[in-house]
Structure 1
Amino acid sequence: MANAASGMAVHDDCKLKFLELKAKRTYRSIVFKIEEKLKQVIVEKLGEPAQSYEDFTASIPADECRYAVYDFDFMTAENVQKSRIFFIAWSPDTSRVRSKMIYASSKDRFKRELDGIQIELQATDPTEMGLDVIRSRAS
């Protein structure tokens, strides 16, 4: 089912891998890419469960838009282990205008396909999705 706003479909693999991350914790992160020629969102990279947040951010291209999901583990003030699933819409200022428009117009529909996202971040600069930002949004 293509998105009326941008015409982007969501590859089934996106939903399957997200369910594996959410239910089985098979992955720490997933980076999604819009494949313009195929007019659909596909899985670009999967992060192993042991992957650090730094490894995850390094796996996202610095000058191209991407969607990403990261399963963030943290300790609460009461010393309770918790986890939050972040959806990150990465749209750097250096990326192409057309690309930014396609990612922006497809985001909400794509996000709806991934049932279980707890926190959304919009980032145009690496500091907007730094570990400190993730920590403060998680708690």
Structure 2
Amino acid sequence: MASGVAVCDEVKNLYDTMKVVHNEDKPEDRVRLAIFKIVKNNEVIEISKKYTQKDLGDSTPFSIFCQEMDECPCFYALYDCHFETESHVEKDELIFITWTSDAGAIKNKMLYSSSKEQLKKCFQGVKHTMQLNDRSDWSKKTIAEKLQDKNSLRVAKIDNVPI
């Protein structure tokens, strides 16, 4: 099912920036979480907010995502998840997330669901995707399970916080 919603170029450029880390990039300037929303009369997916490591301060992308869930019933997100395995290997991988709250309007939920593939095409190479419909779907344990599906490694910490 196609929705006719387009993805703006800034979203594509941000994805390219998030997926490739250059040696000269400062860790505090890396975008760790980006929120995307459908705007302009339901015609375009644009960047709503983006959080660099510097913007997060003492917070984690996980906690900021929880705040976003409380504020908005539907959005997409790209989460640069930093994790450590039980064998002390540090990794970071992008997770593409669709949040359509059960409490959201049916029309909005349908629009976000039908537009997801359009955005996903722009995010070629993202290893992990998650569909969240309820706040209980979002936990560090759920993220660890998603990361382990592809890695056969056991995740011990996410964003330096033990699971």
Runs of 4 or more above 2 Å deviation: 59-63
- Is the 2:5–2:118 contact (alpha carbons within 8 Å) kept by the matching residues of 1? no
SS at 2:53's partner residue? coil
Deviations 1:91-127 (A, max 9, x none): 0011111101110111012111112211111101122
- Counterpart residue number, 1:67: 76
Letter in 1 for 2:135: P
In the superposition, the TM-score normalised over structure 1's length comes to 0.89
Matched, 1:45 2:49: yes
Matched, 1:20 2:17: yes
Deviations 1:68-112 (A, max 9, x none): 010111111221001121111100011111101110111012111
Aligned pair count? 136
Larger CA deviation: 111-120 vs 55-64 = 55-64
- Counterpart residue number, 1:9: 6
Query: How far does residue 57 in structure 1 lie from its aligned partner after superposition?
Result: 2.5
Letter in 2 for 1:32: F
Identity of aligned residues (%): 28
Letter in 1 for 2:7: V
The answer for unaligned runs of 5 or more in structure 2 is 22-26, 149-163
Deviations 1:47-82 (A, max 9, x none): 112531112321344452100010111111221001
Measured in 2, the distance between the counterparts of 1:60 and 1:106 equals: 19
In the superposition, the TM-score normalised over structure 2's length comes to 0.76
Which is greater in Rg?
A: 2
Measured in 2, the distance between the counterparts of 1:64 and 1:97 equals: 11
Aligned counterpart in structure 2 of residue 93 of structure 1, from 89, 102, 111: 102
Over aligned residues, Cα RMSD in angstroms? 1.8
